[in-house]
Chain A
């Protein structure tokens, strides 16, 4: 993995912020885009732009094929059976809402239980709160241990015959904790297992068959792709039984005055004109990641996390989440005693360093950790140890 060569593909990394070279450590929020993705988007609009499906003319045929190929590419990337299991949505939140409305609201009854964890992003908590309020189901929230890993003993105890859905993040966007999905699957084989892969799919090899999950959810913009396009993987037999999420154009097979039949998968769940160029941008991002190799991506981030943690440890610094890179993704949350987390982010920005500060859309977790916010540095393929050194030159000046 040649980082210097990779960095050349990212035009934004040449940018100066406040007169300093940009150091971008906010990859858990969104990643930067390589020139290959930018060009794919530009090229589509310049050369292929047309609406997909049913068009007779050449442009529509080509655009349809490109969009369908994008589904196939995603299916291969996560080890799905075929493109019928891949639904393009706007983002992770929309994907979870799709499952919530089309599966949970239709199939769960009063007294049923949904099990989730305290480390979820709001996107994997708020929709289940809605089901709890509307359907009278019980939402159970498993806790973490002091080291920021999931309390698996408690998690197991919370499972029973009423557990109908387990909704869990693969990697926490605050703690970086990697949850052992295979182990969780073994605890309960007959519940729907929904995995929020927003922080895992971009950073490591993820295979839906090996995890044996029913749904996997992730966003393109966190893996070099464009914003506004996300993915819902679902087992075909489940998706086929589910009702559509949105109704209208492009998701139908036949429409009469008072009834309609719906299109086959995945189009049944992709109503209206799709984000065609978004799908094509995502496919190009996957090509880029495949060329690097997902194991190399993971190894690189593990190395950066190890290096960063060694430099971060200090008696005035609180580090949240596990410290072992083997069970940690590429993000590190911390606070410096006596400092406000937003102030740290602001002072780093003055030196061209972008990190995120605040609650990271995980307010219940932050409350559990005894804080209202943290600083979070998160890495990707283009980050280097030299950038980490520069980061600590500034941070050490701040923390004194």
Chain B
């Protein structure tokens, strides 16, 4: 019961952009770059073009997503974190 309440609250607190980012990462089989995510979310017209990047970091702070820097590709790659299941699913 406690976990159900907690999950609902966490989901309710997400912005539309945050939900869009999570949805993108859920449907992708591989981690996604900042640029790719920003371009995709921007197309939804939920706010200013810089906002998706801001929300990526907010989701990371909440522990819902994680990032990894690929030195080879010189990009940050984002994916759902291990905590994602516990927090939202």
**Chain A residues within 8 Å of B, Cβ to Cβ:** 338-340, 342-343, 346-347, 349, 357-359, 363, 372-373, 400
1/0 contact trace for B20-63 toward A, CB 8 Å?
A: 00000000000001110010000000001110010001000000
Contacting residues, chain A, for B71 (C-beta < 8 A):
400
Q: Do B76 and A340 touch (CB < 8 A)?
A: yes
Given contacts A339-B74, A340-B33, A343-B74, 4 further A-B contacts (CB under 8 A): A342-B50, A343-B76, A359-B50, A372-B49
Q: Is residue B7 contacting chain A, with contact meaning CB distance below 8 A?
A: no
In the bound complex, how far is the Cα of B48 from the Cα of A343, in angstroms? 18
Q: Do B34 and A342 touch (CB < 8 A)?
A: yes
A205 to chain B minimum Cβ distance, whole angstroms, is 33
Q: Do A358 and B34 touch (CB < 8 A)?
A: no
Residue tally, chain B, CB below 8 Å to A: 15
Could you list 18 examples of A-B contacts with CB < 8 Å? A338-B74, A339-B74, A339-B75, A340-B34, A342-B35, A342-B50, A342-B53, A343-B74, A343-B76, A346-B53, A346-B57, A346-B67, A346-B76, A347-B76, A358-B49, A358-B53, A359-B49, A400-B71
Q: Do B69 and A347 touch (CB < 8 A)?
A: yes
Q: Do B67 and A340 touch (CB < 8 A)?
A: no
Q: Do A373 and B76 touch (CB < 8 A)?
A: no
Q: Which residue of A lies closest to B67 (CB)?
A: A346
B18 to chain A minimum Cβ distance, whole angstroms, is 16
Residue among B35, B38, B74 with most chain A CB within 10 A? B74
In the bound complex, how far is the Cα of B42 from the Cα of A359, in angstroms? 13
Contacting residues, chain A, for B33 (C-beta < 8 A):
340
A375 to chain B minimum Cβ distance, whole angstroms, is 12
Contacting residues, chain A, for B57 (C-beta < 8 A):
346, 349
* A339, A349, A358: the one within 8 Å of B50 (CB): A358
Residue among B35, B38, B49, B50 with most chain A CB within 10 A? B50
Q: Which residue of B lies closest to A399 (CB)?
A: B74
B66 to chain A minimum Cβ distance, whole angstroms, is 12
Q: Do B49 and A342 touch (CB < 8 A)?
A: no
Q: Do B50 and A343 touch (CB < 8 A)?
A: no
Residue among A346, A347, A349, A373 with most chain B CB within 10 A? A346
In the bound complex, how far is the Cα of B35 from the Cα of A136, in angstroms? 39
Given contacts A357-B53, A359-B50, contact A343 B75 (CB under 8 A): yes
In the bound complex, how far is the Cα of B9 from the Cα of A21, in angstroms? 34
In the bound complex, how far is the Cα of B74 from the Cα of A338, in angstroms? 7
Residue among A342, A346, A372, A400 with most chain B CB within 10 A? A342
In the bound complex, how far is the Cα of B45 from the Cα of A369, in angstroms? 23
In the bound complex, how far is the Cα of B50 from the Cα of A342, in angstroms? 9
Contacting residues, chain A, for B35 (C-beta < 8 A):
340, 342
In the bound complex, how far is the Cα of B42 from the Cα of A306, in angstroms? 36
Contacting residues, chain B, for A359 (C-beta < 8 A):
48-50
A369 to chain B minimum Cβ distance, whole angstroms, is 15
Residue among A339, A343, A373 with most chain B CB within 10 A? A343
In the bound complex, how far is the Cα of B48 from the Cα of A363, in angstroms? 10
In the bound complex, how far is the Cα of B71 from the Cα of A359, in angstroms? 25
Q: Do B49 and A343 touch (CB < 8 A)?
A: no
In the bound complex, how far is the Cα of B57 from the Cα of A99, in angstroms? 37
* B38, B48, B69, B74: the one within 8 Å of A342 (CB): B38
